Each structure stands twice: as C-alpha cells, then as structure tokens.
Amino acid sequence: MIHATLDIDRWKATFPLAKERSEDSVLEVDFISGPRTIAVLEQLRDDVFGNVFGSTSTLARMPTDVFVWARGEPEHRVVTKIAGLPYRAADKPWPLDVVGRPRLFLGQFCFAESRDLVPVSLPGDVLLVFAAVEEWQPGAFEVMWGRPDALWFEWAQLNERPLVSSAEVPASGMRLLPCYGTRHRTWDYVLSASMIDRGPDPRDHWTEEEDLLLDCAVVEGTKIGGIAPRLFDEDEIRLDGEEVVPPGTYLCTLASLMVDTFRPYALLNMPEPRDPADREASRAWWQSYPLMIADAGLLNFFLDREGTVRWTGHCAT
C-alpha cells in the first residue's frame, strides 16, 4: 500500500452533521482539503441524496479517489502531493520555462492504487506537474495561469532511483506549503437532465435540498478518476481551441487548498486551531502558502490520443 487510506467513520464522528449545521445554518461544500470537508460532504450526500431520490443506489455513479491533506513531507515520497520534494530521478535536467527559468514543482499524482479509475493505458505510475512562474512585483511570484506554456508534465515509474535531493531542487521564487495526500475512495454521481429539470427557470423551483444536491454530486478537490469538476462552467480556461469536448480522457484534478487554520484539523496532522492572537504562530504558518490556483480555482488534466497531457482550468470568479 502506497497511500494511507482515510478512516471516514472516524471523521464523520469527529464532525457530525447535526453539530456542523448548528454552527453554520448554510453549509457549503468547499474544495476537499482537511478531514472536516470530506466528512461534511459524505454526510450531506447520505442525507440529501437519500431524501431526494429515496436511495443513492438508484443513481449512476463513477468511482473516484479524492485526497485529504496533511502538512509536510510524507514517509514515502511517491505519494500524491503538493510542492515539496518530487518523486523524480536525480540525473534528469530540471524543466525550464521558455526564457530559461526553473519551473516550480506544483505537485504529483500517484496512480499506483487508482489505475482501475482510468480507462486508458498510462505512460507511467506518477504524473509530475511543473509550472512557470513570474515575478509581478519585487519578491512576489505567481503562476502564469491561462498560458499554453504555463504547465509542464513528466511521468515517473515506481522504481526511480536515486531521487533528487532538496539541495538539487532549484528555487523558483514561490514558497508553496508542502502537503501529502491520504486517499479516500468515494463516488461522483451522474445526474441526468430530468433529475434537475424544473421548467424554464429551474432555480425558482428547486428546493434547498435539490440545490445542495447539485453541489454534492461531483467531488471538488484533488482527485483521480470520476467526473471532472466544473468542466463546462463559464469561467473555464480552455487551451488549444477546445470549446465543446474535453481534450482527451480525464485523469485527475488539482484543486486549491481551502485551509481554515482557525478550526480544529484544518489538515490531518493539525489537530489544534491556530490562535489568531499568536503572532509568532501566524508568522511561522505564512512562511509558505497553501496552493491557490488563480482565484480559488482548479486544474483538470486529460490524456489525449497521442499520449500528451492536456489541461483546462477553472477560476472561481
């Protein structure tokens, strides 16, 4: 076993839906980051899908592996992760952008335990994602989202040795918070048009539960397989002239980290909430930054017929 698997029953008991609703009357499903978000999502699904359709077993669904994050470096470097040390051979030249600057290691997806979710042959076991960054003001860097050359992809095999060391990873200017994933196998639900058709102005006729159902159907977070989230939303960034169909077979999604450090278990290994009055703790936390894609967005990755990784991106605004 490569990834640790999430004990979802433990986290449902830690964040029971009744208590969450008593503290927040309008629960919104954020991107999956810490254990609270996935626990709330799974309980909302149990509640909402059962009440609207009687039984979730009658719905078409597609399995997906979603990742819940812990802060820092994992015991096994091969796991799905954001930033930190990549699972990459030491003797490979570091990828550069078009003007020769080192690219930022954005993250990686380990497919070793998720190959059953992807209906095509993969070029490797681990997909590594690198980004081009720019300095938009002195000392402030950001990823060049929306440009065809913004991202660079590599595949690695499970037997890569020796691996690149931290001293061999070039600085790119950005300091992303290293995180590693714990795997949770769940489902994306396929909603047909008839399930949500309520006439010419559907929002006037949906109940609160049906409205929430739409938010719960497809897991939004870093994931492998299932249904690509927000693929046809109006804020979708599409590359290479793709306007109607996805650019290949869907592989995985990398999502922004929505980390509320003032709640317990903002991440799996952060049981205590951060004290807003503790300035030293705040300074330590902001030495690096949780991944934010554009304005709280996500990236969907696809494999086309030629074996090239393609991508689309969604921005929340």
Q: Structure tokens of 133?
A: 């960054």
Give long-range contacts, CB 8 A cutoff, 24+ apart: 266-270. Answer: 266/33, 266/34, 267/33, 267/34, 267/69, 267/70, 267/71, 267/179, 268/34, 268/35, 268/68, 268/69, 268/70, 268/182, 269/70, 269/71, 269/72, 270/34, 270/71
Q: Answer whether residue 108 shows pLDDT above 70.
A: yes
pLDDT for the residue numbered 173: 87
Q: Answer whether residue 125 shows pLDDT above 60.
A: yes
Q: What would the pLDDT profile of 213-248 be if each residue is shown by its tens digit? A: 778 899 999 999 999 998 877 666 666 555 556 789
Confidence of residue 313 (pLDDT cuts 50, 70, 90): confident
- Mean per-residue pLDDT over the chain, rounded: 87
CB neighbour class for 283 (10 Å; exposed up to 12, middle 13-18, buried from 19)? exposed
pLDDT for the residue numbered 240: 54
For residue 1, the number of C-alpha atoms closer than 13 Å in the C-beta half-sphere is: 6
Q: What would the pLDDT profile of 256-312 be if each residue is shown by its tens digit? A: 999 999 899 999 999 999 888 888 888 888 888 899 998 889 999 999 999 999 998
pLDDT for the residue numbered 233: 72
Q: What would the pLDDT profile of 73-95 be if each residue is shown by its tens digit? A: 999 999 999 999 999 999 999 99
Confidence of residue 142 (pLDDT cuts 50, 70, 90): confident
Our measurement of the distance from residue 21's CA atom to the centroid of its chain's CA atoms, rounded to an integer in Å, reads 25
pLDDT for the residue numbered 210: 62
Structural domain spans, the chain:
8-314
pLDDT for the residue numbered 243: 54
Residue 238 amino acid letter: R
Residue with tokens 């497919």: 111
Q: Structure tokens of 90?
A: 């030491």
Q: Answer whether residue 55 shows pLDDT above 60.
A: no
Q: Answer whether residue 193 shows pLDDT above 60.
A: no
CATH of domain 8-314: 2.30.320
Residue with the larger pLDDT of the pair 249 and 200? 249
Residue with the larger pLDDT of the pair 50 and 131? 131
Residue with the larger pLDDT of the pair 193 and 2? 2
Residue with tokens 């929306």: 146
E strand map for the chain: 60-71, 81-82, 104-110, 126-131, 133-137, 140-143, 151-156, 179-190, 223-224, 236-238, 249-255, 298-303, 309-314
Q: Answer whether residue 148 shows pLDDT above 70.
A: yes
Residue with the larger pLDDT of the pair 243 and 26? 26
Q: CB of 68 within 8 A of CB of 80?
A: no
pLDDT for the residue numbered 191: 76
Q: What is the mean pLDDT of residues 205-216?
A: 67
Query: pTM (2 decimals)?
Result: 0.91
pLDDT for the residue numbered 60: 86
* Residue 19, CA distances (Å) to 128, 157, 269 in order: 39, 44, 22
Q: How far apart are the first and last CA of the chain?
A: 39
Q: What is the mean pLDDT of residues 199-222?
A: 70
Confidence of residue 68 (pLDDT cuts 50, 70, 90): very high
Q: CB of 135 within 8 A of CB of 150?
A: no
Residue with the larger pLDDT of the pair 23 and 211? 23
Q: What is the mean pLDDT of residues 58-77?
A: 93
pLDDT for the residue numbered 52: 55
Phi, psi of 17 (to 5 degrees): -60, -40
Share of the chain above pLDDT 70, in %: 85
